[in-house]
């Protein structure tokens, strides 16, 4: 036993139209994961998109910047240390509230409950966050 914890990793997005998009990840977040997210967002919402991200290193990596150069993706970054401006954080808060204080027998049970819970999230209005 290595002492490592099994976990569920998700990246999420909220559109200006109130749509949500969640990307389950098997590995830790890195620039490749971000590129996969951006590609998936283009597939879901169209080639020309503006994506607002926080300043996590995996969002600001050189590989991500190089990937975006050849696309119609515009990246905008929130100021550092400002999760209150990120509408996706509200989705995570709601999910945490739904799953908190519950015992799951297996990681698969937790994964199923989390993915099911994402369908019940009240999607925040993006403009409330970005244009207060």
Q: How many domains does the chain have?
A: 1
Is there a domain that residue 47 lies in?
yes
Is there a domain that residue 1 lies in?
no
Is there a domain that residue 2 lies in?
no
User: Using an 8 Å Cβ cutoff, are 78 and 86 in contact?
Assistant: yes
- In this structure, is the dihedral angle defined by the CA atoms of residues 7, 8, 11 and 17, taken in order, positive or negative? negative
Q: What is the pTM of this model?
A: 0.73
Task: Please tell me the predicted confidence (pLDDT) of residue 59.
Answer: 93
Task: Please tell me the predicted confidence (pLDDT) of residue 1.
Answer: 40
Residues in the chain: 132
Strand partners of residue 74: 50
User: Using an 8 Å Cβ cutoff, are 48 and 31 in contact?
Assistant: no
Strand partners of residue 12: 22
CATH number at residue 83: 3.30.420.10
Is there a domain that residue 3 lies in?
no
- For 8-19, the pLDDT digits (tens) are 788 888 888 888
Higher-confidence residue of 63 and 88: namely 63
Is there a domain that residue 45 lies in?
yes
Look up the domain containing 74 and give its range.
9-130
- For 38-85, the pLDDT digits (tens) are 999 999 999 999 998 888 899 999 999 999 998 999 998 888 777 777
Is there a domain that residue 110 lies in?
yes
Is there a domain that residue 111 lies in?
yes
Q: What is the DSSP string of 50-77?
A: EEEE---HHHH-HHHHHHHHTSSEEEEE
């Amino acid at each position: 036993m290595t002492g490592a914890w099994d976990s569920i990793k998700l990246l999420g997005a909220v559109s200006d139209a109130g749509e949500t998009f969640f990307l389950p990840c098997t590995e830790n977040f890195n620039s490749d994961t971000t590129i996969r997210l951006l590609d998936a967002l283009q597939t879901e919402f169209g080639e020309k998109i503006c994506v607002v991200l926080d300043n996590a290193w995996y969002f600001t990596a050189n590989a991500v910047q190089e990937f975006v150069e050849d696309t119609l993706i515009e990246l905008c970054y929130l100021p550092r240390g400002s999760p209150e401006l990120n509408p996706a954080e509200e989705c995570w808060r709601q999910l945490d509230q739904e799953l908190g204080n519950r015992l799951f027998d297996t990681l698969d049970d937790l994964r199923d409950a989390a993915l099911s819970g994402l369908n019940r999230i009240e999607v925040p209005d993006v403009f409330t966050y970005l244009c207060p």
